[in-house]
Amino acid sequence: MSKDELYKVVLDAMAGTDCGDCEYPDCDGYTKGIVYEGQTDLGRCAPGGEDTRQKLYEIMLGTKAPPK
């Protein structure tokens, strides 16, 4: 999958609240950080919580997230 396609999949996994709790200005920023800038912390989406964390681990690493 291309990075542009991956971007769309990762953005869909986000909670979509654009809250900034992830230390990015919005969900788009966090998604770009993960897909294009090498952000490895996949647990920053507070509104999405464990559901988003699990999705991001499956999308980006092909595995289940480890226990917190």
The pLDDT profile of the chain, 68 residues, written as one tens digit per residue, is 999 999 999 999 999 999 999 999 999 999 999 999 999 999 999 999 999 999 999 999 999 999 98
pTM for this one?
A: 0.94
Q: Can you read off the two tokens belonging to residue 57?
A: 């681990």
45-52 long-range Cβ contacts below 8 angstroms, 24+ apart: 45/14, 45/15, 45/21, 46/19, 46/21, 46/22, 47/15, 47/17, 47/19, 47/21, 48/13, 48/14, 48/15, 49/15, 52/13, 52/14, 52/15
